[in-house]
């Protein structure tokens, strides 16, 4: 990237590393998924559209402001960019957002008929905000897979106005969004959710 911006290259390097890790685990097949990190009050760095997440380099990331303007010349934003932006606009405590497309997230978000999927009874819950023991639980809301991204973003925003402690959400038949104060914390949340979703999927095979 040509832009000079404090933290830009360091944040980009963290996102490249996370993309490689999560692609390797099958959570970002091919060009799916997206990763971003906040740079300051008005800017973020995010994966550009159409790049393989297992093989990202600095040129596959772009600088975008929180009004949605692309500041990296010649880069194409993914449609999902706005779903990242609305989270950064909500809270200065959100410093990174990661979107994965795993098999458990895909399958569970289609078969769960309720408006949310509650994950409970596992020690890994302690990696998530608001959970201190395996007796706690966390509910991921599930939103319809709406190709109209501003409409979908408005639903997410509305839900989070009512439930500000929501740590992530699922899009039906699509995948997971979660976030953290920085890339490291967002990575932990992805790993915890993906583990819990995998356990939940396997549990339902035995006890549908
Ligand atoms: Zn997606």
Encode pLDDT of 57-107 as tens digits: 999 999 999 999 999 888 888 889 999 999 999 999 999 999 999 999 999
With a cut of 80, say whether residue 133 has pLDDT above it.
no
Report the alpha-carbon distance of residue 199 to residue 108 in Å, rounded.
Answer: 11
Residue 136 Cα to ligand 1 middle (Å): 28
179-193, pLDDT tens digit by residue?
A: 999 999 999 999 999
Task: Quote the mean pLDDT of the chain.
Answer: 91
Residue range(s) defining the domain that contains residue 35 = 8-206
Residue 79 Cα to ligand 1 middle (Å): 9
How much of the chain, in percent, has pLDDT values that exceed 90?
A: 73
In a domain, residue 123? The reply is yes
With a cut of 50, say whether residue 28 has pLDDT above it.
yes
With a cut of 70, say whether residue 27 has pLDDT above it.
yes
State the pairing for strand pair 137-143/168-171. parallel
Residue 92 Cα to ligand 1 middle (Å): 24
pLDDT of residue 208: 65
State the pairing for strand pair 43-47/137-143. unpaired
In a domain, residue 178? The reply is yes
In a domain, residue 1? The reply is no
> Domain holding 151: CATH number?
3.40.225.10
Residue 33 Cα to ligand 1 middle (Å): 5
Confidence of residue 20 (pLDDT cuts 50, 70, 90): very high
Confidence of residue 2 (pLDDT cuts 50, 70, 90): very low
Confidence of residue 126 (pLDDT cuts 50, 70, 90): confident
Residue 120 Cα to ligand 1 middle (Å): 25
pLDDT of residue 91: 94
User: Could you please report the per-residue DSSP string of 87-142?
Assistant: HHHH-TT--EEEEE--HHHHHHHHH--SSEEEEES-GGGGGSTT--STT-EEEEEE
Tally Cβ neighbours within 10 Å of residue 143.
20
pLDDT of residue 144: 92
Q: Is 43 among the annotated ligand-binding positions?
A: no
Looking at the structure of the chain, the number of domains it has is: 1
Residue 135 Cα to ligand 1 middle (Å): 31
Q: Is 163 among the annotated ligand-binding positions?
A: no
In a domain, residue 151? The reply is yes
pLDDT of residue 4: 54
How much of the chain, in percent, has pLDDT values that exceed 70?
A: 98
In a domain, residue 65? The reply is yes
In a domain, residue 3? The reply is no
Strand, helix or coil at 143? strand
In a domain, residue 2? The reply is no
């Amino acid at each position: 990237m040509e832009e000079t911006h404090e933290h830009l290259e360091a944040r980009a390097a963290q996102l490249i590393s996370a993309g490689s890790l999560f692609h390797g685990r099958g959570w970002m097949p091919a060009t799916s998924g997206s990763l971003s990190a906040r740079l300051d009050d008005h800017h973020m760095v995010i994966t550009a559209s159409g790049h393989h997440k297992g093989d990202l380099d600095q040129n596959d990331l772009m600088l975008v402001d929180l009004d949605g303007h692309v500041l990296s010349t010649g880069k194409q934003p993914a449609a999902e960019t706005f779903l990242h932006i609305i989270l950064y606009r909500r809270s200065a405590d959100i410093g990174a957002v990661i979107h994965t497309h795993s098999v458990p997230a895909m399958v569970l978000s289609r078969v769960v008929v309720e408006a949310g999927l509650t994950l409970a009874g596992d020690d890994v819950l302690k990696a998530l905000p608001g959970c201190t023991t395996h007796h706690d639980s966390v509910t991921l809301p599930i939103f319809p897979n709406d190709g109209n991204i501003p409409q979908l973003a408005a639903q997410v925003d509305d839900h989070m106005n009512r439930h500000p402690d929501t740590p992530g959400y699922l899009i039906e038949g699509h995948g997971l969004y979660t976030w953290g104060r920085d890339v490291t914390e967002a990575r932990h949340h992805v790993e915890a959710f993906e583990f819990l979703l995998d356990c939940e999927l396997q549990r339902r095979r035995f006890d549908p």
